[in-house]
Amino acid sequence: MKDLLTTLFALALLAGSLPAQSPLSLSDAIQTGLANNFQIQITEMQRDVAANNDDWAIAGRYPSINLAINSNNSYRNQSNPAGPLTKLNSVSPGLTPGVEASWVLFDGYRVRYTKQQLEQQVQLQEGNIRLAVESAIQRIIQSYYSALVQQEQLAVVEEVLTLSRDRVAYQELRKEFGQASTFDILQTTDAYLNDSINYVVQLNTFESALRNLNLAMGVDDLGARYALTDQLAYEAQDYAYETLEQRMLASNHQLQNQLANRELASINTRIQESELRPSVSMQAGANYNVGISFGEQTLEFGANISTRSLPEVAAKTFTGFVNFNATYPLFDGGVRRKRVENAKTEELIAQAGVSDLKRNLNNELANTLATYNTQKHLVGVTTQLVDNAHRNLEIAEERFRGGLINSFDYRTIQLGYINASQQRLNALFNLKNTETELVRLIGGLVR
């Protein structure tokens, strides 16, 4: 039995020490995760596309100029038995190069509004990047502290496992002197075996948390292990709701994106209204035509029939033009008016979305702050509970060795220490997650 217990203890500790662990802080985890996050890379490329489109040329401010080359070729075969020119065959190839330009001089300020729309789309994509970064940071923080909680809990289970092992050795020693019975040995051995199982289970939970952390960081090697260097315990801050609300309304990234969508709806209304105004455009160009004609003709005067070639004749023509075109919409069945009405309705929808989001954010902020204050109080209570449970365990160890309490009482106190430690770690983890959510609501995760 001694050999079995020793082997179990050695295997449990060996499982926690392999493979080698590299130190990892929360800031390092965030830096790695941001560099590897595909969603951030996608939104950045989408922003680049929007920035590339943010140009006056895309908006339609500049004229379009085209170089055109047209080929004009013809063949003529004429037959007239009644006249002296009884037959005529001619070929006339031609080539017409030219330059044409078209420029919209005025279109109801549509170009200006389109440029504003392109600029606003860039701002919206910038907001999407901040949302992606914010989501990635929050996920990494939660994954890091989840792994840290499991690491701390593993240390607690290992501490209890060591105490159980010492109890087994102590009872074996007492048995040799006739002071412990087989029942006492079985009780301490049963506790040690249960603690060994708890250690192996907790070790697996910790490794799963590390894999989730690797996934959040975008690390391909999900089995990579770390020694987490940040501390779970920290000084909890006090927050005032009014201050948080002001910062949230000014900096919340989700709200900023909703405001950008509202502005886009407003710009779209102005674009649709520009269709009701007149438009003036100019077309200018120049063409140069080169044509050549050649062939043969047949002349018949009585019995005299003669066929001769036509001389090659080249004709060159240069033409230029500048034209202006003005249009004003008079009637289209109300299509333009309906588009304007729909655009205004979409603008109202966007405004309603902003108001609804503000209401939900205020409610979420109030609930999160209330939860944070409650969890901050729970951290203080559970910290005292752990201190009492640890002191109680030390006293119980002394009394157990002195024969003042039995194995059942000692085991109860030991389990109480494990439960108290778990409650404190959960309280710290929940507090950290809630504080992270508070910081996210006020736009503090991304500067």
pLDDT in tens, 255-295: 999 999 999 999 999 999 999 999 999 999 998 888 787 77
Q: Which residue has the higher pLDDT, 312 or 58?
A: 58
- Give which of 396, 33, 379 is closest to 217, Cα–Cα: 33
Most confident of 80-84, 86-90, 142-146, 187-191: 142-146
Residue 210 C-alpha from the chain's centroid? 22
Domain residue ranges in the chain: 2-63+121-276+334-441
Q: Is the pTM of this model over 0.95?
A: no
Most confident of 11-15, 69-73, 173-177: 69-73
DSSP 89: E
pLDDT of residue 253: 95
pLDDT of residue 162: 85
- H-assigned helices in 89-181: 110-176
Q: Which two tokens stand for residue 313?
A: 């004749």
- H-assigned helices in 25-76: 26-36, 38-53, 56-59
DSSP 315: E
φ, ψ for residue 117, nearest 5 deg: -65, -40
Residue 343 has pLDDT above 50, yes or no: yes
Q: What angle do CA 222, 228, 233 make, to 5 degrees?
A: 135
Q: Return the half-sphere exposure (C-beta side, CA atoms, 13 A cut-off) of residue 294.
A: 7
pLDDT of residue 6: 52
Residue 4 has pLDDT above 70, yes or no: no
Q: Which two tokens stand for residue 118?
A: 């392109």
Q: Which fold has domain 2-63+121-276+334-441?
A: Outer membrane efflux proteins (OEP) (1.20.1600)
pLDDT in tens, 121-148: 999 999 999 999 999 999 999 999 999 9
Residue 49 C-alpha from the chain's centroid? 16
DSSP 72: -
Q: Which helix (H) or strand (E) holds 361?
A: helix 335-401
Strands 279-301 and 85-92: antiparallel
Rounded to an integer, the average pLDDT of 187-202 is 84
Residue 425 has pLDDT above 60, yes or no: yes
Say how far apart CA 110 and CA 61 lie, in whole Å: 9
Rounded to an integer, the average pLDDT of 170-175 is 68
Q: Which residue has the higher pLDDT, 429 or 307?
A: 429
pLDDT in tens, 240-259: 999 999 999 999 999 999 99
Q: How far is CA 198 from CA 180, 191, 204, 413, in A?
A: 26, 10, 10, 17
Q: How far apart are the first and last CA of the chain?
A: 60
Say how far apart CA 222 and CA 36 lie, in whole Å: 13
pLDDT of residue 244: 95
Residue 38 has pLDDT above 60, yes or no: yes
Q: What angle do CA 111, 51, 31 make, to 5 degrees?
A: 155
Categorize the per-residue pLDDT at 18 as very low, low, confident or very high, splitting at 50, 70 and 90.
very low
Q: How far is CA 435 from CA 134, 216, 443, in A?
A: 14, 19, 12
Residues constituting the chain: 447
Question: How much of the chain, in percent, has pLDDT values that exceed 70?
Answer: 87
Residue 39 has pLDDT above 50, yes or no: yes
pLDDT in tens, 370-416: 999 999 999 999 999 999 998 998 898 888 777 787 777 877 888 88
Q: Which residue has the higher pLDDT, 361 or 304?
A: 361
Q: What type of residue sits at position 438? A: L
| Average pLDDT taken over every residue of the chain | 86
